[in-house]
Amino acid sequence: MRETIKNNLQSKLGNLPSAPGVYQFKDASGKVIYVGKAKILKNRVRQYFQARPGQAKTEAMVAKIADLEIIKTDNEIEALILEFNLIKQLKPRYNVLLKDDKTYPYIVITNEPFPRVFPTRKKRNDGSRYFGPYTDVKTMRFALKSIRDIFTIRSCNLNLNDETIKEEKFKVCLDYHIKKCEGPCVGLQLQKDYNEMIDQVAKLLNGKTTTLEKELRSRMEEYSANMMFEQAARARDKMEALSVYNSKQKMAGEEIIDRDVFAVVTEDNDACGMALKIRDGRVIGKSHFYFGNVLEKPKEEILENLVTNYYLKSDFIPDEIFFPFEMENTDALENWLTEKKKQKVEIVVPKIGDKAKLVHMVESNATLMLKELKLAKMKREYIAPSVESLKRDLRLNRLPRHIECFDISHIQGTDTVASMVVFRDAKPKKSEYRKYKIRSVSNETGEPDDFLSMREVIHRRFRRLSEEGQEFPDLVVIDGGKGQLSSAVSVFNDMNIEIANPRGESIEDKLKAPNLIGLAKRLEEVFMPNDPDPHTVPKTSSGLKLLQRVRDEAHRFAIEFHRSLRSKRTIVSELNEIKGISDASAKKLLTKYGSFEGVKEAVLSNEEEFALDMGKRITGALVKYFFDAEEDAESNTDNDNEELESDKKNESSIKS
């Protein structure tokens, strides 16, 4: 088999063309494991198979190559773009991969007669103009706020065009009255004037603030000369707001130039690439991107990936680009960017002076961002000692980083509820807690049945996880002994969910199977499925303390839910005793006034106002009930007084 693969590869290597293009290496299963490009395919691809010591990762890749496929292109630029798109689509194992590519937001100017301006995370091919991506959301928000302060852009989602405006379908909103919009929806602002303003917005987003300031100053002077003082005042106000925006940006030298400065830093298998944006000589922002799978990869490959990704998504290309080092395919990148911009673009590698310091500054910032990434990764990978201890104590086949615990609570079978609490890495994840009202609370004889209740809640929880395709927890804790645990096990059996054997069995083919245990309260004994004897955990173990915390939290959460239900039921029942008050009305009254006494005080203190809120029927029923109750109380008091006087007379006569 291997000989056949080798012969096939040799045949293809012998027929490689002396032309630019893209090559794909595939493994024995046909999966693409690496995508590369070449100025001359014949020379580049053969280098991988020459007998010479190389890097360990490259040698491992070559050992897996079972087939190769090539795509010829007309030039290096086409090969560059095709390589990038294939890597993004296929995510080959041995290529440098961009992380979090889809999460960065843009600012979009929509392709409409009266365009809108807003943030978005989806870039569509609909003719709209996109600015970004913004890896720093604060920078994007500041830009949007500045646009709102300087320009009167509409904030509505109305479908504005000549027809809808002529048909007078819309009315001006609050934005018009507070001078945040000039009313294009009712024809108070012409499409031509509105779109001139949108072009100014685009200049601001592209960082062309110096150009925009000159344009506004020229307009203001023109308006003043023609005695159009209101329009001149508006232009002046825009200039003042623009100067505030400019004051937040630093000058990057005396040159009034558009420039992007790139840098790349690596550590282990991670990398960070950064682009500093300079427009009209001002620093308007920076973007950073993280890369994975970079071990043993040259920085040139990472930088090329960064630059290609960056300018494929950017609608603006500066006149000058700084690289931190020389690259073999700089000419191809330069030609591609020049063709895209339709104007000469120059790539420069500064060696000395302020320009070299600028590159070094960007590199330092990229280093800081990479350290932040590594720190965040370390926090994610940190394993609490109690989690490791619990794995060891119970001889679990994987770390119980995700624990779910279930408990049942009721009083003599009434208001039966269940709780589910979640711990991740030994910490409670309260946003994932769940509480359940139990429906199957009694057995065949009508007695409360905790086992049936546990069956119900386990079934409801894991049915949902299965339907939604979510991962199961590492460890499921049942608050109770063998009976409760057996109920949970029977549910898993009915649902054909395999339970991982926690007693050290290999888990390679059961990675999604949860571990299941029961924790008995009396002696803190741990029960395992299909094991009649309890497993005793050392009392001093931090793993046992973690189990106790999880169990106690589930117990607390269940009791709180049970008490709240019981309290509501008691109050609602008291209101339901009143003739003419339905369940729905009782709940409405409690929501409004908080308690039975609150309802009573509200209706007796101001009957008319109460009737306006709750209606005459409900008010009448409550008034009758409360007054009848008071009359009964007074009547009982009178009767008691009469009986007391009679007793006194009888006692006096007896004495005489």
What is the rounded distance in angstroms from the CA atom of residue 648 to the CA atom of residue 202? 99
Which H helix or E strand runs over 402? strand 402-411
Task: Give the pLDDT confidence score for residue 625 in this predicted structure.
Answer: 78
Task: State the Cα–Cα distance between residues 114 and 122, nearest whole angstrom.
Answer: 21
Query: Which pLDDT tens digit goes with each residue over 59-70?
Result: 888 888 888 899
CATH number, domain at 473? 3.30.420.340
Between helix 450-468 and helix 482-494 the angle, nearest 10°, is 40
Does residue 435 have a pLDDT over 80? yes
| pLDDT, tens only, 296-321 | 888 999 999 999 988 988 878 999 99
CA distances from 284 to 207, 239, 259 (A): 6, 18, 11
Q: What is the pLDDT of residue 653?
A: 46
The CA-based dihedral angle spanning residues 184, 188, 193, 199, taken in that order and rounded to the nearest 10 degrees = -30
State the CATH number of the domain containing residue 297: 3.30.420
Residue in the structure block whose two tokens are 């012969």: 7
Where is 87: in which H helix or E strand? helix 76-90
In the structure, what pLDDT confidence band is assigned to residue 253 with cuts at 50, 70 and 90? Answer: low
Is 519 among the domain residues? yes
Residue 105 has pLDDT above 90, yes or no: no
Structure tokens at 266: 């690596």
pLDDT computed for residue 412 by the predictor: 64
Regarding whether 584 and 531 lie in a shared domain, the answer is no
Q: Report pLDDT for 506.
A: 41
Q: Residue 83 to residues 16, 21, 99, 321, 340: CA-CA distances in angstroms?
A: 18, 9, 17, 22, 17
| Pairing mode of beta strands 526-527, 515-519 | antiparallel
**Domain co-membership, 417 together with 461:** yes
Q: Judge if 534 and 391 occupy the same domain.
A: yes
Q: How confident is the model at residue 112 (pLDDT cuts 50, 70, 90)?
A: very high
For position 645, what pLDDT does the model report? 55
Question: 13: domain CATH number?
Answer: 3.40.1440.10
**What pLDDT does residue 167 have?**
86
* Among the ranges given (143-152, 253-262, 624-633), the one the predictor scored with the smallest mean pLDDT: 624-633
CA within 13 Å, CB half, 415: 15
Contact 73, 82 (CB under 8 A): yes
Q: Which residues are registered as beta bridge partners of 276?
A: 261, 286
Helix/strand/coil for 373: helix
Distances (CA, A) of 363 to 109, 171, 281: 32, 53, 19
Do 602 and 530 fall into the same domain?
Answer: no
What percent helix, strand, coil does the chain show, rounded to 5?
Answer: 50, 15, 35
Range of the domain at 417: 386-560
447 pLDDT above the threshold of 70: no
Q: Is the pLDDT of residue 654 over 50?
A: no
Q: Alpha carbon of 185 to those of 119, 150, 165, 191, 519: distances in Å?
A: 22, 20, 6, 10, 67
In angstroms, rounded to a whole number, what is the distance separating the alpha carbons of residues 552 and 549? 5
Residues 540 and 437 in one domain: yes
Residues 300 and 297: their CA atoms lie apart, in Å, by: 8
In a domain, 17, yes or no: yes
Q: Is 123 in contact with 103 (CB distance < 8 Å)?
A: no
For residue 54, count other CB atoms closer than 10 A to its CB: 13
More confident residue, 500 or 24: 24
Which pLDDT belongs to residue 100? 61
- pLDDT of 232 > 80? The answer is yes
pTM of the model: 0.57
In a domain, 589, yes or no: yes
CA separation (Å) from 100 to 34, 133, 268?
20, 12, 19
Q: Nearest Cα to 367, choosing from 284, 300, 293, 273?
A: 273
Q: Are residues 413 and 522 in the same domain?
A: yes
- Unique residue bearing structure tokens 């894991």: 462
pLDDT of residue 611: 83
**Amino acid present at 629:** A
Asked if the model's pLDDT at residue 517 lies above 70, the reply is yes
- Which whole number is the average pLDDT over 594-605? 79
Same-domain pairing of 463 and 543: yes
Based on the domain organization, do 417 and 549 belong to the same domain? yes
Q: What is the mean pLDDT of residues 381-404?
A: 87
Is the per-residue pLDDT at 549 higher than 60? yes
Mind listing the pLDDT tens digit for each residue in 561-595? Answer: 888 777 666 666 667 777 777 877 877 777 777 77
288 part of a folded domain: yes
State the chain's mean pLDDT as an integer.
83
The three-state secondary structure class of 146 is helix
State the pLDDT at residue 111.
Answer: 92
181 belongs to a structural domain = no
Any idea what the Cα angle at residue 305 is, between residues 299 and 307, rounded to 5°? 100
Sequence-separated (6 or more) residues with CB below 8 Å from residue 538: 393, 544
Q: Which of 37, 64, 95 is the last residue of a domain?
A: 95
Q: Are 413 and 441 within one domain?
A: yes
Per the CB < 8 A criterion, the answer to whether 175 and 144 are in contact is no
Top mean-pLDDT range of 126-140, 355-369, 585-599: 355-369
Distance CA 215, CA 196 (A): 12
What would the two tokens of residue 494 be?
A: 């009915």
Residue 505 pLDDT greater than 60, yes or no: no
Instruction: For residue 514, give both structure tokens.
Output: 């949860």
What mean pLDDT is predicted for residues 604-617? 82
- From the list 332, 266, 275, 283, the residue with the least C-alpha distance to 307 is 275
Token digits for 482? 């063998």
Closest by Cα among 515, 529, 524, 517 to 552: 524
Distance CA 183, CA 438 (A): 57
Residue 248 lies in a domain: no
Is 142 part of any domain?
no
pLDDT of residue 509: 38
The mean pLDDT value for 73-88 works out to 88
Q: What is the per-residue burial (b if ≥16 Cβ within 10 Å, else e) of 464-477?
A: eeeeeeeebbbbbb
Give how far the C-alpha of residue 153 lies from the chain's centroid of Cα atoms, to the nearest Å. 29
The burial class, CB within 10 Å (0-12 / 13-18 / 19+), for 352 is exposed
Contacts of 286 (CB under 8 A, 6+ apart): 135, 136, 274, 275, 276, 277, 362, 365
Place of tokens 């707001």: 241
Is position 263 within any domain?
yes
Give CA–CA dist 253/264, Å, rounded: 23
Question: Which residue, among 95, 140, 148, has the nearest Cα to 120 in the 3D structure?
Answer: 140
Q: By the 8 A CB rule, do 323 and 347 touch?
A: yes
Q: To the nearest whole percent, how much of the chain has pLDDT over 70?
A: 87
Please state the domain count of the chain. Answer: 4
- Asked if 309 and 289 count as a contact pair (C-beta separation under 8 A), the reply is yes
Let me know: does 77 contact 339? Beta carbons within 8 Å. yes
As a whole number, mean pLDDT of residues 71-89 equals 88
Tell whether 509 and 426 lie within a shared domain: yes
Together in a domain, 520 and 390 = yes
Question: pLDDT, tens digit, for every residue of 326-338?
Answer: 988 888 899 999 9
In the structure encoding, which two tokens stand for residue 528, read together?
A: 């395992």
Quick one: 342 and 491 in the same domain?
no
The answer to which of 95-104, 112-121, 383-392, 610-619 has the lowest mean pLDDT is 95-104
Residue 454's φ and ψ, nearest 5 degrees, are: -65, -40
